[in-house]
Copies of this chain bind each other. A is one copy, B any other.
Amino acid sequence: MDLFNSMKVFADFIEIESNIGYNDITAEVEKIVAKSDIKNGIVAIHEMHTTAAIIINENNADLHEDTKDVLNEIVPVKEYRHNYEGNENAAAHIRSQLLGSNATLPIINGKLALGTWQSIFFMELFEKRRRRIAVVAMGE
């Protein structure tokens, strides 16, 4: 048993000016994990908006275009009830719910447990905006 318990919590926000679509935030998350000095634990990532999402997948421009096409097909921009910011906005809200606002990743042996092809993205589903992502790393 470790009397001088080394469990710690490190909380921070990532602030970005988003581009529409995929915004790679892997380096920012890794910076927070490095600052936390946590060797084993987790990092919780949550974007604080309703027309955006957190995505873990490959950083590949073709794939990102393909994914946007599929989202346009399954959640088309059409006449919605919730349209006081336009029908693009309603579609963004619905896509956000399908994709999810948050992800929690393991930290193992001092490294984010990301696979070779995995990056972390803030996905802007509406329009260029100032956006905020809350991040908490916790462990020992």
Report which A residues bind B (CB closer than 8 A): 1, 3-5, 7-9, 11, 13, 40-42, 44, 46-50, 55-58, 60, 62-63, 65-67, 70, 74-75, 80-82, 90, 93-94, 96-109, 113-118, 132, 134-136, 138-140
How far apart are the CA atoms of A80 and B70 in the complex, in Å?
Answer: 10
Copy number in this complex?
Answer: 3
Q: Which residues of B contact A57 (CB under 8 A)?
A: 50, 93, 96-97, 101
How far apart are the CA atoms of A80 and B102 in the complex, in Å?
Answer: 27
Q: Which residues of B contact A46 (CB under 8 A)?
A: 56, 104-106, 113
Main secondary structure of the interface of A (DSSP, over half): mixed
Q: Which residues of B contact A103 (CB under 8 A)?
A: 100-102
